[in-house]
Amino acid sequence: MDLADSARASQAPLQGTDQQQPQAESSIGAGVGSAALAAIAAASLAACGGGGSAAPITSTPSAVGPPTGEAITAERAARFLIQAAFAATDGQIARVQALGYSAWIDEQFAMPRSLSNWDWMDSKGYQVVANVDNFTGFENSLWRKLISSPDGLRQRMTLALSEIFVVSIVGLPVSWRGFLAAGYVDLLESHAFGNYRQLLQDVTLSPAMGVYLNTRGNQKANAATGRVPDENYAREVMQLFSIGLVELELDGTLKGGKAQETYNVQTISQLARVFTGWDLDGSNRTEAGYTRRPMVNLPARYDTDAKTVLGTPIAAGVLAAQALQTTLDTLSRHPNVAPFISRQLIQRFVTSAPTPSYIARVASAFNDNGQGQRGDFKAVIKAILLDDEARRDPSPADTTRGRLQEPIARFIQWARTFSLGSPTDLWNIGNTADPVTRLGQSPMRSPSVFNFFRPGYVPPNTELGRQGITAPEFDIADESTVVGWVNFAQTFVASGVGETRPAYTAEVALAGDPAALVQRVARLLAPGGLSANTQSLITQAVAAMPATTDANRLNRVYAAVLLVLATPEYLVQV
């Protein structure tokens, strides 16, 4: 039973799908008919409940060979592109087929970065006093980059890093908070193809992280007042950004087969002292420049006494900058970092429950890129995407393979696939966190530093739970988000969001042939994923619609796209 089968096994009919449909001739609901829409929508994922676990993988490693080197079909290229860059288009499919997987990745590595979020906001005039205490312009730019930037692999990695090194705009109560968030995403993007150790340092000194996890303004202990250093960042930099809670083998399994803590309360206390004295560099309410400058250390607030961090001594009198370097070196050299970070990146790109052997191969590339360099994200990305577990064709034997696409990724995939554009270049898609009317998730709006979902989440009361299979995205799959996805899709498929609009030129050309239209949409959105029965059902629904006018043909396209987006075989991709 794969992830999609498991989703079906516990599904229930959708309720509450009576949200008002788009009006006029482009109405999907009117074109498809409520019965046909309900028949497909009822196949969507059911609620999976709460609970969960942050435990590491404990299954037996599987023997997997290297990539087969078989011909890259259009379907294989599309699967690769969805993993690597959110979406597949005709042009990118042809590019992958012409270059091969590895050379395509190299081409993406070489692409220049598009205009940064910070600079775009500034160029659009958002750096005005009226915006000093809000996020106006930030989400516009964020969606702009995620949807339209040509370096899809870099954007995919940036989103992945934002869900590991979490800063949420829900927790940035300072001046120029929109520019602060923009600067942080730009920082992650700048390191997407860089080095883990440097990323860890820049994240640590980021003003956004300083505000979010209280490094900003952290001061040494004062016995007279009872003040002690804030331990927030000290705890999370270990638990979430580097070594995790328990000692791991290279393959992500428990070291020695039993749970052994990586740190304790004394470790946190010692580390918190390293992070004293840091503060924003020149914060003010007249200009936003400080939001992309690293924090600076104020010596009078820094604890200069001797410290020991994970067995590494820091002598008394060592300056703050050197103590920080020693601490981050110690964390980044810890043997847990490679499997801990590698597993999460595999989950973001390829599969929710990677085998220990897959984790070990990627962690090995993390530890050594072939040139003696540790933490090279280019090597890690290649190891993830070129591995046989990522590239081999789906098979019934792959019982734990695949992942429930998080709502953000689904929306970006649709937008990139069908060339969503912004005629005004404003990209006013906005906050999509509402679970009833939108996605139930929005970039950089995690409810906490623990992201939208935990990497070790196992859905309770499901076949996945009975098998102990991790499936992080199911943590935010419930009645509201499932229904909300279908309701929102009925709107954006036909009309876009805000002033954005999709383009369906190639699809409209096939509207007179329902089978060809559905095959094309299925190949682009869920290559190799939709069963013959599902495609037949969708084809029948589309064929029942008239196709005598341009509006009719567009309605057929809207129906085909919407119904594919509602299937469990699309939502859970392998």
**What own/partner pairs with CB < 8 Å and gap ≥ 24 does 305-309 have?**
305/273, 307/270, 307/271, 307/273, 307/274, 308/270, 309/267, 309/270, 309/271, 309/274
Is residue 150 within 8 A of residue 114, CB to CB? The reply is: yes
pLDDT for 70: 81
| 534 within 8 A of 567, measured Cβ to Cβ | yes
**Would you say residue 9 has pLDDT above 50?**
no
pLDDT at 21: 33
As a three-state string, the secondary structure of 341-389 is HHHHHHHHHCCCCCCHHHHHHHHHHHHCCCCCCCCEHHHHHHHHHHCHH
Can you give the pLDDT at residue 385?
98
Closest by CA to 342, choosing from 476, 166, 196, is: 196
Residue 204 has pLDDT above 80, yes or no: yes
Per-residue model confidence (pLDDT) at position 69 = 62
- Rounded to an integer, the average pLDDT of 306-310 is 97
Q: Are 238 and 331 in contact (CB under 8 A)?
A: yes
Return the SS3 of 301: helix
**How many residues make up the chain in this entry?**
574
Sign, Cα dihedral of 293, 299, 305, 306: positive
Lowest mean pLDDT among 37-41, 137-141, 512-516: 37-41
Confidence band of 171 (pLDDT split at 50, 70, 90)? very high
Cα–Cα distance for residue pair 141/119, rounded to 1 Å: 10
Burial label for 310, CB within 10 Å (0-12, 13-18, 19+), is middle
25 Cβ contact list (under 8 Å, min separation 6): 549, 551, 552, 554, 555
Q: Which residue pairs, CB below 8 angstroms and at least 24 apart, start in 141-145?
A: 141/117, 141/182, 141/427, 142/117, 142/182, 142/185, 142/443, 142/444, 143/427, 143/429, 143/443, 144/120, 144/422, 144/425, 144/427, 145/114, 145/117, 145/185, 145/189
- If one counts every other C-beta atom within 10 angstroms of the C-beta of residue 311, the result is 7
Question: Residue 504 and residue 159: Cα distance in Å, rounded?
Answer: 26
Q: In this structure, are residues 338 and 329 in contact, taking their beta carbons and an 8 Å threshold?
A: no
Cα 201 to the center of its chain, rounded Å: 21
pLDDT mean over 117-132: 98
pLDDT on residue 31: 46
Q: Is pLDDT at 94 greater than 80 in this prediction?
A: yes
pLDDT at 108 over 70: yes
Instruction: Tell me: pLDDT of 164 over 60.
Output: yes
pLDDT at position 189 over 60: yes
* pLDDT per residue as tens digits for the range 250-266: 999 999 999 999 999 99
Q: What average pLDDT score do residues 475-481 get?
A: 92
pLDDT tens readout for residues 209-248: 999 999 999 999 999 999 999 999 999 999 999 999 999 9
pLDDT of amino acid 1: 37
Q: What is the pTM of this model?
A: 0.90
Mean pLDDT of 182-187: 98
Task: Please tell me the distance from the alpha carbon of residue 322 to that of residue 471, in angstroms, as a whole number.
Answer: 40
For residue range 534-562, what is the model confidence (pLDDT) as tens digits? 999 999 999 999 999 999 999 999 999 99
477: amino acid identity, one letter: A
333-373 pLDDT tens trace: 999 999 999 999 999 999 999 999 999 999 999 999 999 99
Q: What pLDDT score was predicted for residue 400?
A: 83
**Which of left, alpha, beta for 302 (phi over 0: left; psi -120 to 50: alpha)?**
beta
Amino acid making up residue 269: S
Answer whether 100's CB lies under 8 Å from 76's CB.
Answer: no
Give me the chain's average pLDDT, please.
90
C-alpha to C-alpha distance for 324 and 242, rounded to whole angstroms: 15
Q: Which residue has the tokens 């906050």?
A: 431
Strand partners, 501: 421
